[in-house]
Chain A
Amino acid sequence: MPSGTENVSYSSGAIIASVVAGQSSTSDQTLTWATTGNVPPGLKLKIIKGTPELTGKPTAWGTYSFSVSVTDVKNYEGTQPFQVTISPAVTFTPLPATASLTLRGGSSSQADTVLPNGVAGTPYSPQTISVTSNSGISLSVTSNSGISLRKPGTKSWNGLSVTLTASNTVIIKGTPKTFTNPTLHKKGSSGDPLELTVTAFTDDNKFSDATTYLINVEPASSSSPVAIQVDYDQTTYNDFPTAATAGQPYSATFVTPTGTGFQFSLMNSSAVTSLGMTFDAALATLSGTPSKPGLYNLVVQAKNVTSGVVESCVFHLTVNPSSPSSDPGITPTPSSGFTPQQIRQAYGLDQITLSGGIIGDGTGQTVVIIDGGDAPNLVSSNDPNYDNSDLHQFNQQFGLPDSPFFKEDAFGGTNIPTSVGDVGETTQDVEWVHDCPRRHHHPAGV
């Protein structure tokens, strides 16, 4: 079938029903014609002087596959597949990814044409969209972010300028501010990519064609994702703030990987102001004297002032009582802290009744503990030095069994970190996980 051109009158010429004629035994040669499949929008099958032709003015470019069928009065049927290519009347550069989006006279869908991604905080390689036609046209530019240019001019989006020129080109340049991944953005900010629709109108305003271009902005490489941590002493950083004590001055400063160029905010400042504490945004420091013990969630936000990248983290601040519990059921040891038995009593774990054959000592279960850095005072239970390790000493002191214990690197291997971590915390994690509720544990499958 001959090719056509968008918005130009088209005729396929006669379509011959070669299958039907010999099949019917009746003298009634009345035939019924139909099309199935993807017929170019704007074209229809017409019977001209007893012969079918595909005619009309195509409204969308593309390659179309369809079939023409013919049926006689006795329901004998013949079908012939056809393919026709319709060239665009308006040429977009870069070329559209798929068939044209026709705004008038037809309906077809078009996938976005993807332009190169930008990077937040990095100058974007300028992109030029040009539109040509064999007839006079004018352009308009619209976007999902509210850009609307009906005549030459410039609008901006996320640090990029979008300019429509009098010579039917659209130029995009600038430095994008914020990356466009909605799932990584703070709630309330869309983070949507730019969808820029360029529409060409013929001068007689009877035909228009459009293409939508898509621009995504990636996060700056140094800030994806932004890690917010607590600065102990400008050399040591950690993923959590140290515990505070009620009635004693406290301070914690938050940092990011690049160190500078971030604006910090405490998103839920009311959580700490009720404690008598304040958050200094300029110093990114939480300080004050907490008035009451408890566990408080701090939602800290860091915004890259250059790229606009925003990230939030939740920190859990523990405020301990100013003195050990006065619970009459617990007697602190003369040294420090509580015995395993006291802890079980304090948490009521010794009051839990188990059933279903569950012993409750964790036998058959495996617990993984993840900590940063090495605790050299802990060694695996199959290590020759295990008897000198803290865990064994702990078990001896409190009459606990030496259950299997393995110390491994992050990958399950033996390359233990050379840097020493928070030994006290890691040791305590292991020992209290090992020890605590002798008659209670998660049953199998939990």
Chain B
Amino acid sequence: MSSGFTIAPGATIILLEYNSTPGNTPGNNLNNFFSAVQTARSLPGVSVVSMSLGLFKDDNKFNTYKTSTGKKPTNTSRRTWIHCSPHRPGTP
């Protein structure tokens, strides 16, 4: 199953594509990824953010992103973050 299997056909979907160039250093790709995370956390009205990748064990940097823009959470600013193993082509 892909990373975000729990959503719905009536929902608006925003696909944020970060630059993940093959041959680029993993560190650069990581920074690009965090740019997308930063955008996801600041977009209004978002319920769920889904990412197809594993994360750092010491993910303090990532955890700082996993809230809305530093304000006290409200019903409209809380969002669920999903990250898990990806589905790969050719597998169920």
Give every chain B residue within 8 A of A408 (Cβ-Cβ). 14-17, 39
Chain A 263-320 interface residues, beta-carbon cutoff 8 Å to B: 295, 299, 311-318, 320
Residues B2 and A425 in contact, CB atoms below 8 Å apart: yes
Q: Which of A311, A313, A410, A428 has the most CB of B within 10 A?
A: A410
Chain A 370-405 interface residues, beta-carbon cutoff 8 Å to B: 370-375, 378, 395, 400-401, 403-405
A438 interfacial by beta-carbon distance below 8 Å = yes
The CA of A374 and the CA of B20, in the complex, are separated in Å by 9
Contact digits for B27-63, partner A, Cβ 8 Å, 1 yes 0 no: 1011011011101100101111111111111101100
Q: Which of A38-46, A52-60, A414-422 contacts B (4 or more CB under 8 A)?
A: A414-422
Contact digits for A213-253, partner B, Cβ 8 Å, 1 yes 0 no: 00000000010010111000001111110110100000000
Give every chain B residue within 8 A of A312 (Cβ-Cβ). 56-58
Give every chain A residue within 8 A of B72 (Cβ-Cβ). none
A321 interfacial by beta-carbon distance below 8 Å = yes
What is the interface of chain B mostly: helix, strand, loop, or mixed? loop
Residues A367 and B26 in contact, CB atoms below 8 Å apart: no
Residues B23 and A434 in contact, CB atoms below 8 Å apart: no
Contact of B9 among A236, A337, A361, A428 (CB under 8 A): A361
Residues B47 and A314 in contact, CB atoms below 8 Å apart: no
Chain B 67-84 interface residues, beta-carbon cutoff 8 Å to A: 75-76, 78, 80, 84
Residues A371 and B15 in contact, CB atoms below 8 Å apart: yes
Residues A416 and B17 in contact, CB atoms below 8 Å apart: yes
The CA of A271 and the CA of B88, in the complex, are separated in Å by 22
Number of A-B contacts (CB under 8 A): 304
The CA of A433 and the CA of B2, in the complex, are separated in Å by 8
Q: How large is the interface on A (under 10, 10 to 19, 20 to 34, 35 or more residues)?
A: 35 or more
Residue in B closest to A349 when the chains form the complex, CB atoms: B6
The CA of A374 and the CA of B32, in the complex, are separated in Å by 13
Residues A410 and B11 in contact, CB atoms below 8 Å apart: no
B23 to chain A, nearest CB (A): 5
Residues B18 and A429 in contact, CB atoms below 8 Å apart: no
Known: A367-B11, A370-B50, A425-B88. A183 touches B60 (CB 8 A): yes
B7 to chain A, nearest CB (A): 4
B47 to chain A, nearest CB (A): 5
Residues B17 and A373 in contact, CB atoms below 8 Å apart: yes
A255 interfacial by beta-carbon distance below 8 Å = yes
Known: A367-B11, A373-B21. A410 touches B89 (CB 8 A): no
A369 interfacial by beta-carbon distance below 8 Å = yes
The CA of A442 and the CA of B47, in the complex, are separated in Å by 8
The CA of A278 and the CA of B51, in the complex, are separated in Å by 28
Residue in A closest to B7 when the chains form the complex, CB atoms: A433
Residues A362 and B8 in contact, CB atoms below 8 Å apart: yes
Contact of A316 among B2, B12, B35, B84 (CB under 8 A): B84
Give every chain B residue within 8 A of A186 (Cβ-Cβ). 58
Give every chain B residue within 8 A of A321 (Cβ-Cβ). 92
Known: A369-B13, A433-B13. A240 touches B43 (CB 8 A): no
Give every chain B residue within 8 A of A429 (Cβ-Cβ). 2-4, 15, 50, 52
Residues A367 and B54 in contact, CB atoms below 8 Å apart: no
The 4 closest A-B pairs by CB, nearest first: A362-B8, A372-B20, A362-B11, A363-B10
